[in-house]
Amino acid sequence: MTKQYLYDFSFDELKDALKPLNAPRFRAEQIFTALHQGVPVAEITNIPKDLRAWLAENFNCNLPEIVTVQTSRDGTKKYLLAYEHPENTENGAKMAPKDLIECVLLNQNYGNTLCVSTQVGCRMSCRFCASGKNGLVRNLTAGEILAEVILINKLNTTPSARGVTNIVLMGSGEPLDNYDNVMKFLRLVTAPDGINISARNISLSTSGLVPRIRQFAEENTQVNLCISLHAPNDELRQQIMPVAKKYTIRELIDAAKYYFEKTHRRVIFEYSLMLKDGVPFNCAVGQAKELANLVRGFPSHINLINLNPLHFDSHAVLTPPSREVAMAFMDAVIKSGASCTMRKNKGDDIDGACGQLRLRHMEQK
The amino acid that residue 217 corresponds to is A
Binder of ligand SAH out of 174, 225, 282, 357 (CB under 6 A): 174
Stretch that binds ligand SAH, among 30-38, 121-129, 275-283, 323-331 (CB under 6 A): 121-129
Provide, rounded to whole angstroms, the least separation between the CB of residue 347 and ligand SAH.
11
139 is a site residue for ligand SAH (CB under 6 A): no
Bridge partners, residue 66, by sequence: 81
Q: Which of 122, 226, 340, 354 is the catalytic position?
A: 354
In whole angstroms, what is the distance from residue 284 CA to residue 328 CA? 9
Residue 48: C-alpha distances to residues 27, 45, 313 (Å): 9, 7, 55
330 is a site residue for ligand SAH (CB under 6 A): no
Residue 352 and residue 327 in contact, taking contact as beta carbons nearer than 8 Å: no
Quickly count: other Cβ atoms within 10 Å of residue 136's Cβ.
19
207 is a site residue for ligand SAH (CB under 6 A): yes
Q: Could you confirm whether 102 is annotated as catalytic?
A: yes
In whole angstroms, what is the distance from residue 364 CA to residue 362 CA? 5
Q: Which of 43, 57, 102, 324 is the catalytic position?
A: 102
Considering the complex, state which of residue 35 and residue 174 has its C-beta at the smaller distance from ligand SAH. Answer: 174
Binder of ligand SAH out of 139, 206, 263, 282 (CB under 6 A): 206
Question: What is the size of the binding site for ligand SAH (CB under 6 A)?
Answer: 17
Considering the complex, state which of residue 8 and residue 174 has its C-beta at the smaller distance from ligand SAH. Answer: 174
Backbone angles phi, psi at 206, to 5 degrees: -130, 150
Provide, rounded to whole angstroms, the least separation between the CB of residue 125 and ligand SAH.
11
Considering the complex, state which of residue 27 and residue 265 has its C-beta at the smaller distance from ligand SAH. Answer: 265
255 is a site residue for ligand SAH (CB under 6 A): no
70 is a site residue for ligand SAH (CB under 6 A): no
The amino acid that residue 313 corresponds to is D
170 is a site residue for ligand SAH (CB under 6 A): yes
Which residues are CB-neighbours of 150 under 8 A, at least 6 positions away? 7, 35, 36, 37, 38, 63, 195
Which residues are CB-neighbours of 173 under 8 A, at least 6 positions away? 117, 118, 119, 120, 121, 122, 131, 136, 139, 140
Residue 262 and residue 271 in contact, taking contact as beta carbons nearer than 8 Å: no
Helix (H) or strand (E) holding 28: helix 26-36
- In the shown chain, the binding pattern of residues 338 to 357 toward ligand SAH, with x for contact by CB under 6 A and - for none, equals ---------------xx---
Q: Count CA within 13 A, CB hemisphere, residue 129.
A: 23
Stretch that binds ligand SAH, among 216-224, 288-296, 302-310, 336-344 (CB under 6 A): 302-310
Considering the complex, state which of residue 13 and residue 313 has its C-beta at the smaller distance from ligand SAH. Answer: 313
Residue 131 and residue 354 in contact, taking contact as beta carbons nearer than 8 Å: yes
Considering the complex, state which of residue 44 and residue 305 has its C-beta at the smaller distance from ligand SAH. Answer: 305
Considering the complex, state which of residue 93 and residue 279 has its C-beta at the smaller distance from ligand SAH. Answer: 279
**Which residues are near ligand SAH by CB under 6 A?**
124, 126, 128-129, 170, 174, 205-207, 228, 270, 272, 305, 307-308, 353-354
Q: Which residues are catalytic?
A: 102, 354
